[in-house]
Amino acid sequence: MNSRKQGVSSRRTSLVAGSMLALALAPAIGLAQSAIIYGSISNFDISNDTDRVCHGFEVELDGLSPANVPYFFTAQRYGTPIVRTTATGVAVRWESSYDAVTGTWAERTLPHTVTWFPGQCYQWNPATYEDSGCEHFGVGVDANPTHARSRWLCEDSAHPGSLLAIDPPTAVPMPVYYVVPPAAANNPPELVVEVEAPEPAESPQLYGDAQWTIVYERALPRMLILDELLADNPAVVPMDLTQLEADYQLLQDEPGSGSTGRGRHRHQGGIDPTTRSIVRRIETYEFTGAYDPLTHEALCADGLCDFPAPDEIGELLSVQMTAANVQPDAVVVSVTGNGDVDSTDRLISCGSRCAQPYSAGTLVTLTTKARSGNSFNGWTGACSGTQATCTVRANGVVNVGARFVSTPSGGGGGSRSTLQVTKTNAGTVVGTPAGKDRAINCGTSCSAKFDNGTVVLLTATPPAGKQFLNWGGACSGTQNTCTLTIRSNATAQANFSR
């Protein structure tokens, strides 16, 4: 058995060709939409399996316009592609230039004959790139194509200087992602991935060629960009056995009467509130088992094609690296210090449960509770101020922070002390957070009691035509704000111009 006919177990750690991704928004039905897909990104390595020297590559996307294809990977020998309109959609073409005088092409991709390894097809590996027999391309789309296919472009022998798309199309899977609304209010939305059998049948009465697929999946708390989907980037692309979404599965295009369920891989799973991207790596292998001589249906040794026998799995055909950038509707709470935040619907209880999906537009009321020896110091994020409760509306990911500070005993007022504000001339001084008995708004209310350890921000505002000069007492400086940590009774004076 040569290096391209390895055993089943070693296949799981191989890194080779990838393919293209089709991904977009899908209309929501039933409950309110509770997640959005912000388009697709896909980088792919692809081997030249045409047995010819080629000078470009083409991806056809039916049902799209050039405006639906805004992103490309350009760090390869063919540079920026041309996107042209076709009768059914668009074609994204990477092409070499041609010198008609000398009859030579500037760039070429040789037939693939060498053993694969991660990063082989990348410009930043110059020792292997030139003669690797593969190339690295990338496409980003913002709508679902109705059909997609990719082909190598090689010279048309009948018309030197012209490129011809080589059939059959490359045998690569083409996943589509869409969101299914939650089955019940405030449950996680579901992200669905569907992968059609990559090779169509030669006629409607027959099965197409079969392939084995393995799918790896991981969720990340940030959105990804196109250049991160690389075969040599395990920090982003899942490739560990602990990240398996689906072990070996046979995909085979079926005739109209086919009922084996081999024509599509489908997976559906909830989107966690903190997830911003879901990455998949789809490995595709040649099926080398027996076919029915009349229908071309794959006939597996186990009778069900649930798992390949050693002689039923051939070379690794492709590895597709795809990502869905998502934004669920959710409320995510963070706590600084010793305290808790609960929602009135009891779905958020932070300390322990700090993130919750919600149907779009849901109003969520949050309430703080300081632990013993601590006090609530104020909200951050979508909430503000120092009131114990705050109401937010779930539209996208809503981040809310709550700060708690310790309140040690001691000082002139025991466990609490009084902050007194005085001022010269007209002007106002406002303090945050509010004191235990009142808020400082001096003007009218110039003192308040605070738990010792509370951090208080004083802001001085002069009337029109006047100026703030400086602070005195417990505050100092000429900035119009002063931050104090209350440890004992204190007086701060704000000085305004006459």
Q: Is residue 474 part of a domain?
A: yes
Q: Give a yes or no: residue 3 inside a domain.
A: no
- Examine residue 136 and state whether it is found in any structural domain, yes or no: yes
The per-residue pLDDT for 396 is 85
Same domain, residue pair 171 and 148: yes
Per-residue pLDDT, 37? 66
**Residues 114 and 132 reside in one and the same domain:** yes
Is residue 1 in some structural domain? no
Boundary (domain end) residue, out of 311, 328, 345 = 328
Q: Are residues 338 and 315 in the same domain?
A: no
Same domain, 66 and 176: yes
Final residue belonging to a domain, choices 304, 328, 352? 328
The pLDDT value given to residue 4:
26
**Which pLDDT score, from 0 to 100, does residue 368 have?**
94
Per-residue model confidence (pLDDT) at position 40: 56
Do 246 and 314 lie in one domain? The reply is yes
The pLDDT tens digits along the chain (498 residues) read 222 223 333 333 322 223 233 333 333 333 444 566 665 567 778 888 889 999 999 999 899 999 988 888 888 899 999 999 999 999 999 999 999 999 999 999 999 887 767 678 888 888 888 998 888 888 888 777 878 888 999 999 999 999 999 987 887 777 878 888 777 777 788 888 888 888 778 888 899 899 999 999 999 988 888 888 888 889 999 999 999 999 999 999 888 765 667 888 888 888 888 888 899 998 888 899 999 999 999 999 999 999 999 999 988 777 888 888 888 889 999 999 889 999 999 999 998 899 999 888 899 999 999 988 888 989 999 999 888 999 999 988 899 999 998 876 544 445 788 999 998 888 999 999 988 888 999 988 899 998 888 889 999 999 988 888 898 889 988 889 998 888 888 999 999 888
Give the pLDDT confidence of 152-187 residue by residue, as tens digits: 999 999 999 999 999 878 877 778 788 887 777 777
Q: Based on the domain organization, do 358 and 276 belong to the same domain?
A: no
Residues 396 and 319 occupy one common structural domain: no
Q: What is the model's pLDDT at position 137?
A: 85
**Predicted local confidence at residue 6, as pLDDT:** 30
Q: Same domain, yes or no, for 486 and 448?
A: yes
Residue 463 lies in a domain: yes
Look up the pTM and report it: 0.68
Structure tokens at 322: 């795809």
172 domain residue, yes or no: yes
Domain count of the fold of the chain: 3
Instruction: Tell me the residue range of the domain where 432 lies.
Output: 416-496
185 within some domain: yes
The answer to the question of residue 411 being in a domain is no
* Positive/negative CA dihedral, 456, 461, 462, 463: negative
The verdict on 118 and 251 lying in the same domain is yes
| Boundary-marking domain end, from 266, 301, 328 | 328
Do 175 and 245 have their domain in common?
yes
